Structures are given as structure tokens and as C-alpha cells.
Structure 1
Amino acid sequence: MKLDILVFGSHPDDAELGAGATIAKEVAAGKKVGIIDLTRGELGTRGTAEIRDAEATEAAKILGVSLRENLEFADGFFVNDRDHQLAIIRILRKYRPEIVLCNAVEDRHIDHAKGSKLVSDACFLSGLVKIDTKFEGDDNWQDPWRPKQVYHYIQWKNLKPDFVVDVSGYIEKKIEAIHAYSSQFYDPASKEPQTPISSKNFTDSVEYRARDLGRLIGTDHAEGFTVERPVAVASLYHLI
């Protein structure tokens, strides 16, 4: 299966929190979108890896993505080295996305910036013809593939976006997908320990950040992204 967009997250729920409405909008437009979770979030204070597996599956159904897979890297301890890069290169060459979305370049959780750089480096290396890879269970050598663009969504920190996507009409789908992770977010009846993302303030911030970014561009809601290199457009009118 060739994908149009492949979204990477260091943990289950990263993709939804950072780009859930954009994902839902692109799926509604007929684009084939996949999500790759680098870890199972097994070090999370609340819930378990098994619970988060089930939650991620449910969130994927809500967003309507074509696939969701987990590379099962070690939560908190994965590194940007050859083995981890090759695992991502195999995924990139298998699904050949035009666009990759990945974690914030800077954030509160150390895995977010690590995951961001790891995926970005793998996207470059995936285009090199002298790196040979085979996907598990396939005897054929993979062809090189480099996505046209790598964009980074915004997470805990209020980074300044390089561009924003109008997601008016899709914020409800994003919130629904986030609520699929019932073990992680605000629940007044929960007996689990409190975390920075389990407060009502955090859950509310997902909507009011989108509303604020939308305000800046004259729409109801928007999601922001940062870029690694200038984005080319054929006409000034493509920026409207």
C-alpha cells in the first residue's frame, strides 16, 4: 500500500494530540494516511501498554486512517542510531509517503525531540541508494524512497508555527480520537495518579489552542506545524 501521508509519534496519542484534526481532514479528502507509533508508551504513569494498544486501535478507527503500526521501541530509552534508523527506513520504503508528519522539534518530554530527529534523519537516509533494506517477511530488496516534505507538529510547548492548517469542522473528530485514550486524560472518577496531561486544563487546551490558531488566520480552528526547509509554492495564491 502506498500512503500519501505517514504520521509518526513517539507514543500512542502523540499523533492525535499534535495533528489529529489535520489527519481527519486529509482522510476526508481521500488521502491515504497511516500512523506509526515508535513505542507503546509503557513507561506512562497511567494505564498499561496493553491498554494503550487498545486505545490506539480505537483512535485509528475514529480518524479513519488506512493503517496503524507500532515499532515497539523502548519508551524513554530509544536512541537515534543505525538500528532504529533502519527500522524506520524499512517503513518509509514500504509505504512510500509523499509527506511525513512527526513529533515536535522541542518539547517537555525527552522522547518527542528524540523521535523528531530520529524520523527526520531516517527520511533523509531512506533516499540513499547504497543503504540496502528488506522488509521482514519479504525477500525483495526495497527501493530507495525519500518523502517530499517532513513537517513537525506542535505538542506541549507553544512553538511558533511556520504554517497552519485550517481544520475547521474537524476539531470534534480530533477530540473524539483523543478521548479514546481514556486512561491518559482527564477523568474526574479516575483513581490513577495525576500527570501533566491528565488535568482538565490540558484537555481544554487542545481545543483552545486550535481555536486561537484559527483566530489568527480567520477561521474557527487550526493546527500548526514547523518545517525543516522552505516550503515551495507555485503561486502566491496558493498561500491563501
Structure 2
Amino acid sequence: MKIDVLAIGAHPDDIELGCGGTVAKLVAQGKMVAFLDLTQGELGTRGTSETRREEAASAVKVLGVNHRVNLNLPDGFLENTRDYQLKIVEQIRYFKPDIVLANAIDDRHPDHSKASKLVSDACFLSGLPKVITHSNDSVQNPWRPKRVFNYIQWKELEPDFVVDISEYMEVKIKACLAYKTQFYDPASKEPETPIATKDFLESLTYRAQNLGRLSGCNYAEGFTTDKLLALKNFDGIIL
């Protein structure tokens, strides 16, 4: 399979929260996007692995994404190990993305920064012919994504660039709210968590609005990158 973008998250809902608007925009532009969740989010205070799985399936329907894979790695205990790297390499070589979107390089949840480095290393290793992986009993060909971009999560990191999601903000919020057990619900009897507050839900909008204010659009999502970006021309820049 050949896709354009592989979005990877340590937990179900990371992608929707971090870059759901960008994904919705890519899909609307006809790009092929797939999701890869590293864990089931089974250590989350609210909900269960089963509810997270159902919610994740609902969220991709909202965004128009057809492929979502979960590696079932241990929530809370992600490490940059050879075994975990190879599991991700297998998915990269299967999907053959040009761009990978990954967790924040620094964040409140330790899994996020760990996943960032784990994915970055896997993307590099995926391009090495002597790293052998298999799919359906066949040896996979090497494949290295052209770019890895890290979305921004809990912490207010300085973005290297932003994507205008003005037309897709409502879709992003709808996809996030597909995770009914995780986010603000005044009728819920479950314990309150930092992401289950009304303020956190409202922050999805006002943080995107602030990035939009700074960059000349209504709403935007920010990304960081460890490589200098070059523009072919000025088309597409908001002036």
C-alpha cells in the first residue's frame, strides 16, 4: 500500500488532538492518510481499552480516514527498543508514507516524547536495506519517509510552522469528542482528569485560534521539525 501521510500517536486520541484539523484538510484534498496508534491507552483513568477502541473507530470515520492500526504496545511504558522500532518499521514499509506526523518532542505525558524519538529512529531505520522485516512471510523493501513532523500537544511549544485549519476546526472538535469517555461531560460519573475539564475542551479552540491570529488565519495547528524546510515558491503562504 502507498499512502501520502502516516499519522502516529502514542495513544488513541493523540492524533485527533494534535493534528486532527490537518488530517481532515489532507483528506479533503484527496491525500491518502493512515493512523498508527502505539498503545490502547489502557492506563487512562477514564474508559477502558474496549471503549477507546470503539471511540478511535468513530473518530476516523469523522475524519474520513480508512486505515487505523494499533500495535498494542504497553501504555505508560514505551521505550525506544529494537523490538518496538521494528514493529513501527514494518508499518512504515507497509504504508510507504512520504510524511510521518508524530507526537510532540516534549510534553506532559512521558509516552509522548518517548514516542517522538521512537518514531523518528524507526523512520531512519526503515530506509536501511540491511534492517530486515517481513509482511505476509515476504521480506519488506526499505522505505524512508521524506519528512517527520511533530505535532504540538499539552505544552505550548514554539512551532516551526503552522497549518491553516480554519475550514476544518469543527471537524477536529467532532473527532475529538468521539472519545466520549475521555473529554468533558458534565453528566459523567468518572473521575475528573486534566483533559476531561471544560477548560481543556475550550483550549482546543482558543489555542488554535491564537496560532491563527499569529499567522494570519482563523485557526491553525502547529508542528516542529528537526530539518530546515525549503519552499519551492511562495504559493500557499498566507500573506
For residues 112 and 81 of structure 1, the distance between their equivalents in structure 2, rounded to whole angstroms, comes to 15
Letter in 2 for 1:78: L
For 1:35-88, what per-residue CA distance to the aligned partner results, in whole angstroms no more than 9, with x for missing partners? 100000000000000000000000010000120110000000121100000000
- 1:33 aligned residue: 33
Question: Where do 1:139-178 residues align within 5 Å?
Answer: 139-178=137-176
Question: Where do 1:82-121 residues align within 5 Å?
Answer: 82-121=82-121
- 1:52 aligned residue: 52
Match of 1:225 among 198, 207, 223: 223
The change in CA–CA distance for 1:207 and 1:238 in structure 2 (over 3 A counts) is closer
Deviation at 1:18, TM superposition (A): 0.2
- 1:196 aligned residue: 194
Question: Where do 1:71-86 residues align within 5 Å?
Answer: 71-86=71-86
For 1:97-154, what per-residue CA distance to the aligned partner results, in whole angstroms no more than 9, with x for missing partners? 000000000000000000111001000000011111102xx12111000000000000
- 1:14 aligned residue: 14
Structure 1 regions of 5+ residues with no counterpart? none
For residues 3 and 119 of structure 1, the distance between their equivalents in structure 2, rounded to whole angstroms, comes to 17
SS in 2 for 1:170: helix
Q: Percent identity?
A: 59
Deviation at 1:237, TM superposition (A): 4.8
For residues 131 and 70 of structure 2, the distance between their equivalents in structure 1, rounded to whole angstroms, comes to 23
Aligned length: 238
For residues 237 and 13 of structure 1, the distance between their equivalents in structure 2, rounded to whole angstroms, comes to 32
For residues 187 and 94 of structure 1, the distance between their equivalents in structure 2, rounded to whole angstroms, comes to 38
SS in 2 for 1:87: helix
Structure 2 regions of 5+ residues with no counterpart? none
For residues 175 and 158 of structure 2, the distance between their equivalents in structure 1, rounded to whole angstroms, comes to 25
SS in 2 for 1:230: coil
SS in 2 for 1:45: coil
Deviation at 1:236, TM superposition (A): 4.5
For residues 227 and 78 of structure 1, the distance between their equivalents in structure 2, rounded to whole angstroms, comes to 22
Deviation at 1:26, TM superposition (A): 0.2
Cα RMSD, aligned residues only? 0.9
Letter in 1 for 2:163: V
Output the TM-score relative to the length of structure 2: 0.98
SS in 2 for 1:211: helix
Letter in 1 for 2:194: P
SS in 1 for 2:89: helix
Letter in 2 for 1:91: Q
